[in-house]
Chain A
Amino acid sequence: MSDRMTMVQALNLALADAMAENAKVLVFGEDVADPEGGGVLGVTKGLSSRFGPSRVRSTPISEQAIIGAAIGASMAGYRPVPEIMLMNFTTVAMDMIVNHAAKLRFMSGGQTSVPITIRMTTGAGFATGGQHADYLEAWFAHTPGLKVVAPSNPADAYALLRACIDDPDPCIFVENIASYGSSGNAPKRHEPIPLGKATVSRAGEDVTVVSYSRVANEALAAAESLAAEGISVEVVDLRTVSPWDQETVLQSTRKTGRLVVAHEAVRSFGVGAEIAATIGAQLFGQLKAPIVRLGAPFCPVPYSNTLETAFALRKGDIIDGVKAVMEPVANKAPEMS
C-alpha cells in the first residue's frame, strides 16, 4: 500500500475495516450502496458489493427515518454508521439526533445507549449557496450526550472514524468536501487515536492557533508563511470538537501566551467562543494579548464566488489574525473590525 492516501480513500478504508472486524457495523443512507454509485461523493464505494445489501443499504430521502433506524438498531446491539449526505440535512432529523440519540442514555438512567456514528460532509467553496455548506458543529457540541469529531487529514480521519464506531456514545462525524481529494499520510491502521485528544501538528513559540477540520490545514499553511517572517506559530488540531482537549490547548497557550481560535463556521456563538472563554478564564493575567477568534461573518453561506471566497477562512485570514494577536495595537484584530 502506498504511504499516501486521499481523504475519501481513508474514510472508505475505515468503514471497510470496521465492517470486516465487526459484523454489527451497518452503513446506510441516501445513495450509499454500489448500484446507486457508492455514495454521491464515493465514500462508501464498494462496501455493499463486499458486505452485502443487508448491511449496506441505500435509503429513501428520509433523514428522520434514517437516524431513527440507526437509534433503534443501536439499542439492539448494532453499530450503525448512517450517512446524512450534507450537514445541513441534519436539520430535518434534529428531533431524532438531539431529543433521542443524545438523551436516551440519560433519560433511561443508563439502561439504554445509542452507539451510532452519523457521518456527514460540508464546507463552502462549491457554489452551493446557503443550504448545502454550513458548519453546524456548535449546535451539536452544545448538546449534552453527543460527541463531535472533525478530522483535518486522511490519517486522522481513518483513526477517528474507527474510534467513533467503537465508542459507546453517539458521535457526529464531520467531513469536509474540499478536503476529500487531498492526499496525506496513509493511516496507521493499528494505531488508534482516542476521542477528545488534540494534536500539536506544528510546534512553535510565539502564538497558538487552535483549529480543526479544513481550517487546521489553513493554519499549518499560515504557520509556514509566518515562519519566514520570523513568527513562530504552534498549531493545535483539536480533532475532537466535543469533548475538546482543554489540557493540550491550555498547555500550548500557557507556553506561547497568545491564542487564536479559527474555524469555518460563523464566529458568533461558535466553538471558538467556548475555547476563548475557557482559556481566558484559566490564563487571566498571563496572556500577552486578548484572544482572537476567527470565523465566518454572521451571514448564510453566500453564492457569488466573490462573496463565498471572502466567507470561508483561508490562510491569509489566519496570518492576519496571528499578526493581530502578536501586535494587538498596531494590527487591529479582525473580530473588532
Chain B
Amino acid sequence: MKTRIPTRVELLEIYRRTALIRGNDDRFIKMLKAGRIAAPYYSPRGQEIIPSALSVLLTDKDYICTIYRGIHDMLAKGMPVKELWAEVLGKVGGTCKGKGGPMHLTYPAKGIMVTTGIVGSSMPIANGLAWASMLDGSDTVTVAYFGDGASNIGTFHEALNLAAIWNLPVIFVCQNNTYGEHTRYAVTTKVRRISDRAPAYAMPSIHVDGNNPIAMYGAAHEAIERARNGNGPTLIEAMTFRFMGHVYGDDDSYMDRSEKAAALAADPVVRFRSDLLTAGTATNEELTEIEASVEAVLDEAVEFGMNSPPPDLAELRRDVYETEVL
C-alpha cells in the first residue's frame, strides 16, 4: 500500500488541533499556577501531533479510549472545549457534571468513550467497542491510546491477543514518550521497540516518528484503512517525548538533561509551524489566524467553566446506578 500524504486542508486541520492542544496546555498550567485548579495534571505537551494527525482520519462515530495523559487525544477527537473546562474545574456544566474530572473526561457524542486512570486499561475496553462495530457490520473503528509503560502490564498482552484472534477493527496506539512514570524505557523493557512485540500476536505494526505529522498521518491511515476494511488490528508505536514530566510539578531530576534539552529544541509544534511555512503550505497570516481562533475558543471555554456552578450534592446519589440511590 502506498503511504497516504495529507492534503493541504488536512495539514491545516492537523495544525489547528495541534495549536488547540498546545494552547489548552498553556491555559491549564496558568490556571494551576494561579491556584484556580487543584488537581493532578498529566500534561500532553510534546505529544500534540500524534492524535491530531490520526484524528483527522476519524469520524464522530469512531471510538477512542484513552488514559489520564489523554487531554490531547480528546481535544483532537472533538471534545467540546467549554464542557472540558467546566469538567476540569469540577463544575456541573462539565461533560461529566464535574464527577469525572480530567482523568475521566468522557464525551460519547464524539466517540470519546472511556478515559481511564489505570495504566493499560484502555485496551481491553477498546476491544469491546470494536467487537460491537464488527457485530453491527459497520465500518466504525476504535483507537486505544496508551503509553510505553502500559506495554508491560497484563492488559496489553491480553487485549492484543484477543484483538488478533477475533480480527477486531481496533488500532492500538502506543505514544512512546520514553518514560514510564519516572523510569526510563530501557530500565523496564528489554525489546528495543514496543512494535517488536506485535509479531508475537501475529499483528501488523508500524514504528513511526509521532512528532512528524506527515509520517504519523500515513501510519494512521494505513492502520485505520486496515481496520475499516475488516482486516483486523494494528499496533502503532509513535515515538515522542513529554516536556512536563510525569505529573505537573515533578522536578524532572530523573531525566537526562541533554536528552530533554534536545527534545525541547525539536519542539514538534514549533517545527510543524515552520515546516508549513517553509513548504509553502500555509502563510504566516493563515497560521496566525488559526492560533488566534484557538485562543478565542479557549478564552470562551475558561470563562464558561469558571461561571458554571458546582454540582448539587444530590449528584452523590445519581449515576451510581440508573436509578438514584435512596
Min Cβ gap B237→A in Å is 21
Q: Could you say which of B94, B100, B159 contacts A68, with CB atoms under 8 Å apart? A: B159
- In the bound assembly, the distance between CA atoms of A169 and B106 in angstroms comes to 18
Chain A residues whose C-beta falls within 8 Å of the C-beta of B65 in the assembled complex: 72
Say if the beta carbon of A17 comes within 8 Å of chain B: no
- In the bound assembly, the distance between CA atoms of A115 and B98 in angstroms comes to 23
Q: Could you say which of B106, B123, B127 contacts A108, with CB atoms under 8 Å apart? A: B106
| Given A107-B106, A112-B108; A60-B162 close (CB under 8 Å) | yes
Min Cβ gap A217→B in Å is 29
| Given A69-B162, A107-B96; A64-B124 close (CB under 8 Å) | yes
By beta carbon, the residue of chain A nearest B128 is: A72
Chain A residues whose C-beta falls within 8 Å of the C-beta of B158 in the assembled complex: 60, 62, 64-65, 68
Q: Could you say which of B97, B113, B124, B155 contacts A109, with CB atoms under 8 Å apart? A: B97
Min Cβ gap B191→A in Å is 21
Q: Are A105 and B321 in contact (CB under 8 A)?
A: yes
- In the bound assembly, the distance between CA atoms of A327 and B161 in angstroms comes to 60
Q: Are B95 and A73 in contact (CB under 8 A)?
A: no
Q: Are B162 and A72 in contact (CB under 8 A)?
A: no
Chain B residues whose C-beta falls within 8 Å of the C-beta of A106 in the assembled complex: 99, 319-320
Say if the beta carbon of B126 comes within 8 Å of chain A: yes
- In the bound assembly, the distance between CA atoms of A96 and B320 in angstroms comes to 16
Interface string of A197-213 (1 = CB under 8 A from B): 00000000000000000
Q: Are B321 and A68 in contact (CB under 8 A)?
A: no
Interface size on A, residues (CB 8 A): 41
Say if the beta carbon of A270 comes within 8 Å of chain B: no
Q: Are A107 and B104 in contact (CB under 8 A)?
A: yes
Interface core residue of B106, B128, B154 (most chain A CB under 10 Å): B128
Say if the beta carbon of B200 comes within 8 Å of chain A: no
| Given A64-B154, A168-B322; A100-B135 close (CB under 8 Å) | no
Q: Are A105 and B319 in contact (CB under 8 A)?
A: yes
Chain A residues whose C-beta falls within 8 Å of the C-beta of B165 in the assembled complex: 60
Min Cβ gap A332→B in Å is 38
Interface string of B95-135 (1 = CB under 8 A from A): 11111100010111000011011100101111111111101
Q: Are A76 and B132 in contact (CB under 8 A)?
A: yes
Say if the beta carbon of A59 comes within 8 Å of chain B: yes
Q: Are A72 and B129 in contact (CB under 8 A)?
A: yes
Chain B residues whose C-beta falls within 8 Å of the C-beta of A105 in the assembled complex: 319-322
Chain A residues whose C-beta falls within 8 Å of the C-beta of B135 in the assembled complex: 26, 54-55, 73, 78
Q: Are A99 and B118 in contact (CB under 8 A)?
A: yes
Min Cβ gap A100→B in Å is 6
Q: Are A111 and B107 in contact (CB under 8 A)?
A: yes
Which residues of A159-203 are within 8 A (CB) of B?
168-169
7 tightest A-B contacts by CB? A72-B128, A68-B124, A76-B132, A109-B96, A109-B97, A108-B106, A65-B158
Partner-B contacts on A (CB < 8 A)? 26, 54-55, 57, 59-60, 62, 64-65, 67-78, 80, 95-96, 99-100, 104-113, 144-145, 147, 168-169
| Given A68-B158, A99-B116, A108-B99, 10 other A-B residues pairs in contact with their CB atoms under 8 A | A72-B126, A99-B117, A100-B121, A106-B319, A107-B100, A108-B96, A110-B97, A110-B318, A145-B321, A168-B322
Q: Supply 23 A–B pairs (Cβ within 8 Å), ascending by A.
A: A60-B161, A64-B124, A65-B124, A65-B158, A68-B121, A72-B113, A72-B125, A73-B128, A73-B135, A75-B125, A75-B129, A76-B129, A96-B124, A99-B121, A100-B121, A105-B319, A107-B99, A108-B95, A108-B96, A112-B113, A112-B114, A168-B321, A168-B322
